[in-house]
Structures are given as C-alpha cells and as structure tokens.
A and B are shown apart, each in its own frame.
Chain A
C-alpha cells in the first residue's frame, strides 16, 4: 500500500527531475575516510600503537596462551578411542557361571521368573543406568556347566547362551528397558518410597528395534511362532533334545512374560504401591487409565 505510493512518487520524480550527470551525483555519506597521517599531533608520537606491551612491540603471544597456566584448549584431554561413547549403549556382562553360582547359593529364586531386578537384588551384580548401561548382557562363560531351568529376561544374549538355557528346559527373553525404567528396576524399594505411580516402559529406539524383534535373539517383540522354530533350529545346531515345555509342571511360570509397557512382573503401570500400608492404589479415572494403557 505505502510502498506503491512510494514507487509512484519516485517514478514521478524521475520523470520531472533533470537528467542525471556527474554534476548532480554524489556518494553516500561515509564513503570517504580521512586517513591518518603519521605526522603531527594526532597521528604522530606513538602512531596508534599505544604504550609498551605487545601492542606496541608486536610480539604477541600465540592465540590461546594464558600466560603460563594450563590453557583452556589444553585442559581437557581427548582420546579418540572413546569418541562417540556416549551415543552407544552398554550392557555390563554377567556370565552364566555367575548366574549358576547365584542359584546354587540360594540368592536367586528360580521358582519365579528372573529379571534384572531379581539379579540386582541378589547382591552380586550391579549396573549404573546413568552411565549408559542399558541392562544385562548374559555371556557364555560357564555355558557347559549350566544346569538350571529358569525363565530369565535379559537385555542381550548370544546364541550359545540361549541354547544353553533352552537345553535345560528354560526360557530366555531379551527385552528393552529405557533408562528411567532401569532406575526403577535397580532400586524398587526407593521408587515405592517416593510415592510415584509406576510409569510405562518406552519402546526401543530404531537402532535397537531389529535386535528386539528378531526371533533369533528371542526378542520380546518377536513372533512366538518364529521363536519356537528357532528353538528347534538351535537344538539341531547344538545337538540336544529340545525339551517339551508344555509337559513341564512349571509351564505357566516359564511362559510368564511382561507386557511391552510393563516394568515389574505382575504390577501394571499406573498403580501406586505403598509399602507402609501394604496396599496398592489403582486409578479409576478414565483419563489416567487411558494414559497408562496407551
């Protein structure tokens, strides 16, 4: 609106004004800067270089130098072997030998499903979720001596470990827990004493989804059909008779698994557990129920 008038005005001016020539042109203000001459009162004496110092003497220290103390750019060491370590997930190892030891010493109750909370409760394994530890990595040390029928849930397991556990008639699952859930599992008592409601477990990130949806790794999101097929494949590969789980008396316990949104066995998200009163508060509000069921 305003700009249109401006353009029209300027065009009218152009039409009415005389022809442009050198005589009626001049540069914008500030085009000319008077150079300082190195003589006389203003440009002479120290010639703009000040008094003493590296400014006058032109012996500057190198950029970053801090007159002797350890400069900022050298204070923090870097070792390139750990570049990007904070983007990678870590799974502190727990060997099958250690698991067998825990079972032998009665620290791990194998009549119930075993997950990372029970392993930490046994007292001989610890992990730190704030240091990028995302759970238990079951290693194959002691795979030959392992003889216990357990329903175990870890975060990473290799093929030999899976075979060893299934050979003894057990069940192994790999599940993902986000760091917040891991803090809860590490110290459930402290969590219950904080008086918060049990949150939902988050889904794995894109670079972990392949691992947890593959039947080969017994992922918790994998197809049960494929898992049973893979059990057979492993039995054939490692040369053992695949035990029938259906005929097992503790079949129900072995089949017990957590919902992908569940953090603790048997306790749904949204519940508030009170240890003092020994009661559970279950929300009835629609919004809450919907949120915790999503």
Chain B
C-alpha cells in the first residue's frame, strides 16, 4: 500500500527539495509544515530503518491487563470470517436475490452457484462494444441437453435462431448476444 502511494508521488518526490520525503497527512490535508519539524515526519513512515531500538526506550508504563474482557465481543466483530457465512433462509429477499432450490438437483444437468451464492451467467463485451456474448459457466451433467433446451427457450422468446458454443471440458456455454437476463430467469425458474 505504501509503495503504491510512493510510486504515485514519484514526481512530487523528484521536486520535493532537501528532504525528499513526502509528508503523509499534510499532503492529504494541505497543511504547511515548518522546516524544523521535518524530523517528526521522517519517523511517520514505519520502516524497520526508522524504528528506534528497544534498548533506547526507558519508559516503563503502568498498564492493566484485562483477561477475557467484556469488550472482547467488539474485537471479535472486527476479525474476518473464517469461511463464507451460510445464508439463513428468509421469507423474502428485498434485494431481489433468489436462493437455490432443492428441486434443481433432480435435473440431468446442474448449474453450480459461485462462492457468493450467485448464478454464474455473465456478459462478455469485446471489439469495442460490438461483440456481446452471454456465458453460462459451471455446468455439470448433460451439457448438450442443456444447450438444446436453452436454444429452444431463447428461440421461443426472441423469435430468432441464436448461435451457441458448447465447451464440454471447460463446462460453459456461450450464446451470441446479450441474453443474460433471459438466461437468469430461466435458471431461476428451474430452481438453480
């Protein structure tokens, strides 16, 4: 993080003058720094090189060690999850997210959901926006059957033949055009 910040200040560093160091908060907040207080900002960067030795420190502070403190719940709240939390079933989802249904596992094909419990249907745009391809990934089972069904579904819906590409090994089907919403609707209707 610090390196990114420093590389972005490359030119500023070039013209920084005698100290050659960029001051963190002051640059953010536009405050002026007196020349004699430059020594303060030199230590703002936490490198091992700028950190003093433990031998030199004479301060011995009185402190209180609180084991199993009552505020520990606040600390635990800040720590990251160990795994993605499971979704508790609710009556309705105001965001419009539709969960997986049990009946989906009975079909000859299966559309696996992503880690974040989302459908794996994407729109790839290339050639300066001229080429749009709807890609359904993570297909298990009979992919050719699924391909036929989807083609029929899209043909009925859009009154035209829509070309598709089936990649058995990589487990995806690509449709030529932007039919992501239609495919998502179909997937939801099947319970995936």
Pair A123/B62 contact, Cβ less than 8 Å: no
Q: In the assembled complex, how far is the CB of residue B22 from the closest CB belonging to chain A, in whole angstroms?
A: 10
Which B71-103 residues have a C-beta within 8 angstroms of A?
71-75, 77-81, 84-88, 90, 93-97
CA distance A86 to B8 in the complex (A): 9
Q: Which of A100, A123, A278 contacts B84 (CB 8 A)?
A: A123
Q: In the assembled complex, how far is the CB of residue B96 from the closest CB belonging to chain A, in whole angstroms?
A: 7
Asked whether B11 is an interface residue with its Cβ less than 8 Å from the other chain, the reply is yes
Asked whether B25 is an interface residue with its Cβ less than 8 Å from the other chain, the reply is yes
Chain A, residues 111-131, CB within 8 Å of chain B (1/0): the string is 010000110010110001111
Q: In the assembled complex, how far is the CB of residue B24 from the closest CB belonging to chain A, in whole angstroms?
A: 7
Pair A107/B85 contact, Cβ less than 8 Å: yes
Tell me which residues across on chain B come within 8 A of A104, comparing CB atoms: 87, 90, 93-95, 97
Interchain Cβ contacts within 8 Å, total number: 124
Tell me which residues across on chain B come within 8 A of A87, comparing CB atoms: 30
Pair B117/A117 contact, Cβ less than 8 Å: no
Which B103-151 residues have a C-beta within 8 angstroms of A?
116-117
Which A179-203 residues have a C-beta within 8 angstroms of B?
179-180, 183, 188-189, 192, 202
Pair A100/B95 contact, Cβ less than 8 Å: yes
Asked whether B57 is an interface residue with its Cβ less than 8 Å from the other chain, the reply is no
Q: Which of A35-43, A155-163, A239-247, A280-288 touches B?
A: A280-288
Pair B1/A106 contact, Cβ less than 8 Å: no
Tell me which residues across on chain A come within 8 A of B90, comparing CB atoms: 104
If A121-B80, A146-B94 touch, whether A264 touches B74 (CB-CB below 8 Å) is yes
Asked whether A205 is an interface residue with its Cβ less than 8 Å from the other chain, the reply is yes
Pair A205/B29 contact, Cβ less than 8 Å: yes
CA distance A123 to B28 in the complex (A): 27
Pair B116/A179 contact, Cβ less than 8 Å: no
Asked whether A18 is an interface residue with its Cβ less than 8 Å from the other chain, the reply is no
Q: Which of A142, A179, A283 contacts B25 (CB 8 A)?
A: A179
Q: In the assembled complex, how far is the CB of residue B6 from the closest CB belonging to chain A, in whole angstroms?
A: 9
Pair B1/A130 contact, Cβ less than 8 Å: yes
Pair A121/B81 contact, Cβ less than 8 Å: yes
Asked whether B69 is an interface residue with its Cβ less than 8 Å from the other chain, the reply is yes
Asked whether B161 is an interface residue with its Cβ less than 8 Å from the other chain, the reply is no
Q: In the assembled complex, how far is the CB of residue A115 from the closest CB belonging to chain B, in whole angstroms?
A: 10
Pair B77/A282 contact, Cβ less than 8 Å: no
Asked whether B67 is an interface residue with its Cβ less than 8 Å from the other chain, the reply is yes
Asked whether B54 is an interface residue with its Cβ less than 8 Å from the other chain, the reply is no
Q: In the assembled complex, how far is the CB of residue A289 from the closest CB belonging to chain B, in whole angstroms?
A: 10
Asked whether A110 is an interface residue with its Cβ less than 8 Å from the other chain, the reply is no
CA distance A223 to B174 in the complex (A): 57
Q: In the assembled complex, how far is the CB of residue B43 from the closest CB belonging to chain A, in whole angstroms?
A: 14
Pair A178/B93 contact, Cβ less than 8 Å: no
CA distance A180 to B116 in the complex (A): 30
Pair A202/B64 contact, Cβ less than 8 Å: no
Pair A278/B62 contact, Cβ less than 8 Å: no
Asked whether A214 is an interface residue with its Cβ less than 8 Å from the other chain, the reply is no
If A123-B81, A124-B116, A188-B78 touch, whether A281 touches B8 (CB-CB below 8 Å) is no
CA distance A266 to B77 in the complex (A): 10
CA distance A180 to B64 in the complex (A): 26
Asked whether B53 is an interface residue with its Cβ less than 8 Å from the other chain, the reply is no
Pair B87/A129 contact, Cβ less than 8 Å: no
Which B35-73 residues have a C-beta within 8 angstroms of A?
61-69, 71-73
CA distance A101 to B74 in the complex (A): 24
Pair A118/B4 contact, Cβ less than 8 Å: no
Pair A129/B1 contact, Cβ less than 8 Å: yes
Which A234-291 residues have a C-beta within 8 angstroms of B?
264-267, 272-273, 275, 277-285, 288
Pair B68/A266 contact, Cβ less than 8 Å: no
Q: Besides A97-B95, A103-B95, A104-B94, 7 other CB < 8 A contacts?
A: A104-B97, A121-B79, A130-B4, A267-B75, A279-B65, A283-B63, A288-B61
| Residues in B lying within 8 Å of A, measured CB to CB | 1-2, 4-5, 8-9, 11, 24-25, 27-30, 61-69, 71-75, 77-81, 84-88, 90, 93-97, 116-117
Q: Which 9 A-B pairs have the closest CB atoms?
A: A266-B74, A100-B95, A188-B78, A130-B5, A147-B94, A284-B62, A104-B93, A101-B95, A205-B29
Listed by A's residue number, 5 A-B pairs whose Cβ atoms lie within 8 Å are A106-B85, A107-B85, A112-B77, A148-B94, A278-B68
